[in-house]
Amino acid sequence: MLTNSVVRIAVIGAGPAGLSVAAALKDAEVFEEHNVVGLPRHCTSLVSAVSAERVGIPREVVVRRYDELYVTNLDGDFIRFRIRGGVYLLDRPGLERRLAEHVANIRFGEKVTAIKGPYLYTERGEKYGPYDYIVVAEGSLRRLSRAYGEVVRLPGLQVDVKSPAELPGITVVYNPKISQAYFAWVVEVDKGVYRVGLADKCCLVEKLNKLVKLLKGSPVDRPFGGGVLAGPPVQRVVHGRVVLVGDAAGLVKPLSGGGIVLAVKSGKLAAEALARGTPSLYEEGTRQLRMRLRAAHLLFKLLYGKRAVDRLLKTLSGGDYLAVDYDDHVKTLATAALTDPRSLAALRALLLAGYSYVSHFFK
């Protein structure tokens, strides 16, 4: 544990990002608007096994492992990815509970509504502080962190259903009738039980019902969800005494909305920098990561905004690739395209979409 005995630090939000900061700093005070950690659930809970181990996500919260991922449009086209290192399904509330074991000071039921200088104000009218640093780890709602930069946010909704579908592992669905702005997913979380969900700009309930019906599914639990972020990350993660981590900083993979590993990683990096009294180390330490996420955000605009993903899927249909890095989609797609003789056609499809995307701005 890092010590910060002379520096007062407040953390807003007890998700994986905020708890990772506080677990590493002895005396940080955490403010959490709910009365428990990890609930209500919102997340599908898939992470790259390699990255999960690298950032120290405990093995006890791993529920299941997958080695393959299928991509389909439900119109007969599909691609198979074998995933180097595999993907874990996590017990997500369990992850937060484990992280919270190392945090001494969590103020539950305290929703922070404003930051003014070194002070925090809560919905119940309390004033806390002064603090030397205020870490904003409020997740995708970004009520406080929005002031430091916009991040694309799409509503996401999912439900666990029993279904005779017999789909293997993880299936990602690119079909504009089911999600126009992003994608849908079907993940086997237990034998014959699938977590079915989607993110899109509108009509989530109707679209989710449609997908569940297609799978002949019957819900085994209540639907749950939240905001899925698609980047780009904020330009700067440190603003004077305010430090942004996890979703609050837009640190998510734009092509999948995945942010658990980045939340833990950014939380740990921020804690190290604050313990040394040098927040700029956190700014520096995340610079390359943010550049890569910005490149992935451009790809998000091209693949999903211009639906180049539909043409790409048709071109590479039937392909069987190695996903070299589950967390780096740009690298994985580039490697897949370069190892397939049809890659030139795929590249052409992407370039054409890119050209029409760019030329749109000159009309």
Ligand X SMILES: Cc1cc2nc3c(=O)[nH]c(=O)nc-3n(C[C@H](O)[C@H](O)[C@H](O)COP(=O)(O)OP(=O)(O)OC[C@H]3O[C@@H](n4cnc5c(N)ncnc54)[C@H](O)[C@@H]3O)c2cc1C
Residue numbers 187-206 binding ligand X by CB under 6 A: 197
Q: Would you count residue 138 as binding ligand X (CB under 6 A)?
A: yes
CA distance 140 to 154: 10
Q: How far is Cα 186 from Cα 215, in angstroms, rounded to an integer?
A: 9
260/349 with CB nearer ligand X: 260
Binders in 277-306 for ligand X, by CB under 6 A: none
The dihedral formed by the CA atoms of 322, 325, 327 and 333, expressed in degrees to the nearest 10: -60
Binders of ligand X among residues 8 to 37 (CB under 6 A) are 12-18, 31-34
Considering only residues 56 through 115, tell me which ones interact with ligand X, judged by CB under 6 A: 111-112
Q: Which stretch binds ligand X (CB under 6 A): 56-64, 127-135, 245-253, 335-343?
A: 245-253
Query: Which one of the spans 21-29, 50-58, 136-144, 295-303 is the region binding ligand X (CB under 6 A)?
Result: 136-144
How many residues touch ligand X under the rule CB under 6 A: the total is 41
Which of 169, 258, 279, 319 touches ligand X by CB under 6 A?
258
Which range, of 49-57, 221-229, 280-288, 319-327, touches ligand X by CB under 6 A?
Answer: 221-229
Minimum distance from CB of 141 to ligand X (Å)?
6
Nearer to ligand X, 99 or 350 (CB): 99
HSE-CB of 301 using CA atoms within 13 angstroms? 15
CA 225 to chain centre: 12
The binder of ligand X chosen from 85, 169, 226, 319 (CB under 6 A): 226
* Residue 32 vs 328, nearer CB to ligand X: 32
Pairing of strands 46-48, 9-12: unpaired
State the Cα–Cα distance between residues 232 and 251, nearest whole angstrom. 8
Residue with structure tokens 């849908």? 184
Which residues lie below 8 Å from residue 350, measured CB to CB, with a gap of 6+? 302, 308, 312
With CA atoms as reference, report the closest residue to 177 among 195, 197, 203, 153: 203
Between 33 and 52, how does the x/- string for binding to ligand X read (CB under 6 A)?
xx-------xxxxxx-----
77 vs 282, beta carbon nearer ligand X: 282
348 in helix, strand or coil? helix
Determine contact, residues 137/12, Cβ cutoff 8 Å: yes
CA separation for the pair 186, 327 (Å, rounded)? 19
**Phi and psi, residue 124, nearest 5°:** -80, 5
CB of 228 to ligand X, least distance (A): 5
Separation CA 108–CA 122 (nearest Å)? 12
Binding part of the chain for ligand X, among 6-14, 64-72, 173-181, 331-339 by CB under 6 A, reads 6-14
Binding residue for ligand X, selected from 211, 260, 296, 316, defined by CB under 6 A = 260
The phi, psi pair for 198, rounded to 5°, reads -160, 160
Q: Which region among 68-76, 233-241, 255-263, 349-357 touches ligand X (by CB under 6 A)?
A: 255-263
Binding site for ligand X (CB under 6 A): 12-18, 31-34, 42-47, 111-112, 137-141, 143, 156, 158, 197, 225-228, 246-248, 252, 257-260, 263
